Amino acid sequence: MLLEKLRLEYHKSIFKNALTTDKDGIPNNADRHSKISVKLAKQIVSKISLKTRNVKTAGQTYGKSFETITTSFIENSFTHLNHLRPGRYDFFVGKSIDEFEQYEHLSLLTKALDTNRELRATLGDYIINPDIVIGRKPITDNEINRKRVIIKGNLLARYTPLRVKNSKLPILHASISCKWTIRSDRSQNARTEGLNLIRNRKGHTPHIAIITAEPYPQRISSLALGTGDIDCVYHFALKELIDAVKELNNESVSDTLDTLVIGKRLRDISDLPFDLVT
């Protein structure tokens, strides 16, 4: 099965380039000061059944690797579903949103704020650089009229950014944040980014998602529960996490995970490509 193969290759890349264990066998996505976190992380590693590296890697390094590996998985899987949502899409790591149609105006605002410190202190930064972005390229009239003549000239549909005649900028299809772990208040910036994407757009809202390798459901809930700043949180190994939590036999942890999954706030990485074509 193709999706199963892609998910396995995704995990292989993570184990090779991001996930490591220390001399005590503790994975680097676990909080070594939390027995529950350590136990769940170890169980996830055991259930994926891939060999881990026993090296010490800087947090920034494996965080960047996680972004790159996840981008490759999304691009590979999404491309196989292109027949469900036809179009030409580009996948980027760390691209600024003002390079997309819905947020082009923010570059002008940023230039104005750069020359006015007082205004900048009041309004803050508007330009967001999500970890992963997906952009849809505008299309030519020849593509639109491929099966039959739908539009001709420039009297109608003069403003839609989907026509390359009107705009050559890509349309932001999705903004995705990657959080290897969820340990600090800085993790909450993903929700702030989502809120800014919603408030500052000119056009439709892109998909807004978070992907994490955090093993502790209570910490995942700090991002997943709440208002609609994000579409959903996706776990790099939810199936394995669910099995690990069952074996933990901890009612509080089980209740939290059930709330997230049943409440449609947490899904597996394999769900994401399908959600992106909706």
Residue 140 domain boundaries:
2-276
Per-residue pLDDT, 107: 81
Q: What percent of the chain has pLDDT over 90?
A: 76
Q: What is the per-residue pLDDT for 192? A: 85
Q: Is the pLDDT of residue 119 over 70?
A: no
What does the mean pLDDT of the chain come to? Answer: 91
- Give the tokens for residue 95: 């691209």
Query: Span 76-100, mean pLDDT?
Result: 94
CATH value at residue 91: 3.40.50.10010
Which residues, listed in sequence order, are joined to residue 224 by a DSSP beta bridge? none
Predicted TM-score (pTM) of this structure: 0.92
- Do residues 73 and 2 make contact, with C-beta atoms less than 8 angstroms apart? no
Q: How many domains does the chain divide into?
A: 1
Q: What mean pLDDT do residues 155-177 have?
A: 96
Specify whether the CB–CB gap between 32 and 26 falls below 8 A. yes
Which stretch of 187-196, 216-225, 266-275 has the lowest confidence by average pLDDT?
Answer: 187-196
CA–CA distance from 27 to each of 129, 144, 167, 222, 234 (Å)? 28, 50, 47, 21, 19
pLDDT over threshold 70, residue 127: no
- Is the pLDDT confidence value at 124 over 70? no
Indicate whether 56 pLDDT > 80: no
pLDDT of 239 higher than 70? yes
pLDDT band at 226 (very low <50, low <70, confident <90, very high): confident
